[in-house]
C-alpha cells in the first residue's frame, strides 16, 4: 500500500471526539497517528477501525504534559510516515466544582493536560509541521457561557484560545493555519459522565436546534480546517448549534 502523502497526529485519538476525528481524517486519505495516554486497548481499537476501512494508522502512547514524550510522539510520526502535516489536539479532561471547593491538585492536573499539553504539542508542531499544514486546538463553548462549576475548566480552555490566536500570527509566512474548535454540549462520554438526566435534557434544549451536538458535527469542521479550509486562520470556531 502506498504511504499517504499527508500525515496527521490526533491527541486524545481514542476518545469521544478524538476517535471520530481519527476515522474521518483517515477516510480523507491521511495517515493518522493516534496519540493516547490511557487505555492501549481503546487506542488499538481506533487503529483497527482505520485499517479495516482501508486507511493507515498507528498508536503512540505518552504524557502530553511531558516535553520528552511530546518530542517522541513527533519523532515516531516522522519515522513512520516521513513528516507531519496536520495536528489536532482533542486531548483533555474536565473536572467540575465551584471555585470555593475546587481541589488545587485537580486544578493542576487539568492545567497540565488541557493547557500545558496543548502548549507543548503546539510548540512541537511549529517546529516540525510541513508548509501547507494545519494545527487545530480544542477549546469549549463554556469559555463564553460562564456556567457555574466550569470555572477551572473554562480557564484552561480560555488559555488555549489565547495561545491559538497569538500562534497564528507568529507563523506569518509559513503557510500553516492555526485555529481552535470550541464545541458546545456534545454527546461524548466526557460530557455525559456524572450528569443527571435532567441536566442533560436542559443542556440539549438550550441551542435553537434543540439537541446535543454529536461527534460527527465536530469532525465535519475538523476535516474542513485540516483540508480545504486554507483561508480560515487565527479563529475560535464555535460548534454549538447556536447556543451562544
pLDDT at 4: 76
Residue 3 has pLDDT above 80, yes or no: no
pLDDT band at 2 (very low <50, low <70, confident <90, very high): low
Residue 65 has pLDDT above 80, yes or no: yes
Question: Mean pLDDT throughout 135-143?
Answer: 96
Residue 119 has pLDDT above 60, yes or no: yes
Residues forming the active site: 153
pLDDT at 62: 95
Q: Please give the model's pTM, rounded to 2 decimal places.
A: 0.93
Instruction: Write the DSSP string, the chain.
Output: -PPPS-EEEEETTTSTTHHHHHHHHHHTT-EEEEEESS-HHHHHHHHHHHHHTT--EEEEE--TT-HHHHHHHHHHHHHHHS---EEEE---------GGG--HHHHHHHIIIIIIHHHHHHHHHHHHPPTT-EEEEE--THHHH--TT-HHHHHHHHHHHHHHHHHHHHTTTS--EEEEEEE-SB-SHHHHTT--HHHHHHHHHSSTT-S-B-HHHHHHHHHHHHTT-TT--S-EEEESTT--
Quick one: what percent of the chain has pLDDT higher than 70? 98
Superfamily of domain 7-237 in the CATH hierarchy: NAD(P)-binding Rossmann-like Domain (3.40.50.720)
pLDDT at 203: 84
Residue 76 has pLDDT above 90, yes or no: yes
pLDDT at 112: 97
Digit-coded pLDDT (tens) for 11-47: 999 988 999 999 999 999 999 999 999 889 999 999 9
Question: Mean pLDDT throughout 144-163?
Answer: 95
pLDDT at 100: 97
pLDDT band at 51 (very low <50, low <70, confident <90, very high): very high
pLDDT at 10: 98
Question: Mean pLDDT throughout 55-78?
Answer: 97
Averaged pLDDT of the chain: 94
pLDDT at 39: 87
Amino acid at each position: 500500500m502506498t504511504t499517504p502523502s499527508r500525515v496527521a497526529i490526533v491527541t486524545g485519538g481514542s476518545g469521544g471526539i478524538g476517535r471520530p476525528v481519527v476515522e474521518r481524517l483517515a477516510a480523507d486519505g491521511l495517515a493518522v497517528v493516534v496519540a493516547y495516554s490511557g487505555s492501549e486497548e481503546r487506542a488499538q481499537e481506533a487503529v483497527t477501525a482505520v485499517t479495516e476501512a482501508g486507511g493507515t494508522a498507528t498508536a503512540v502512547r505518552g504524557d502530553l504534559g511531558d516535553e520528552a514524550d511530546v518530542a517522541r510522539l513527533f519523532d515516531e510520526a516522522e519515522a513512520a510516515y516521513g513528516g507531519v502535516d496536520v495536528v489536532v489536539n482533542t486531548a483533555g479532561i474536565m473536572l467540575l466544582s465551584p471555585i470555593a471547593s475546587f481541589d488545587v491538585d485537580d486544578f493542576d492536573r487539568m492545567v497540565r493536560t488541557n493547557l500545558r499539553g496543548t502548549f507543548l504539542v503546539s510548540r512541537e508542531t511549529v517546529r516540525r509541521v510541513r508548509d501547507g499544514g494545519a494545527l487545530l486546538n480544542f477549546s469549549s463553548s463554556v469559555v463564553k457561557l460562564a456556567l457555574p462549576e466550569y470555572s477551572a475548566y473554562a480557564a484552561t480552555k480560555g488559555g488555549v484560545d489565547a495561545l491559538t490566536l497569538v500562534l497564528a500570527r507568529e507563523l506569518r509566512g509559513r503557510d500553516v493555519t492555526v485555529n481552535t474548535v470550541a464545541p458546545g454540549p456534545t454527546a461524548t462520554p466526557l460530557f455525559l459522565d456524572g450528569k443527571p438526566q435532567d441536566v442533560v435534557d436542559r443542556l440539549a434544549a438550550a441551542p435553537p436546534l434543540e439537541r446535543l451536538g454529536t461527534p460527527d458535527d465536530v469532525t465535519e469542521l475538523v476535516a474542513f480546517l485540516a483540508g480545504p479550509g486554507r483561508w480560515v486562520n487565527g479563529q475560535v470556531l464555535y460548534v454549538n448549534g447556536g447556543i451562544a
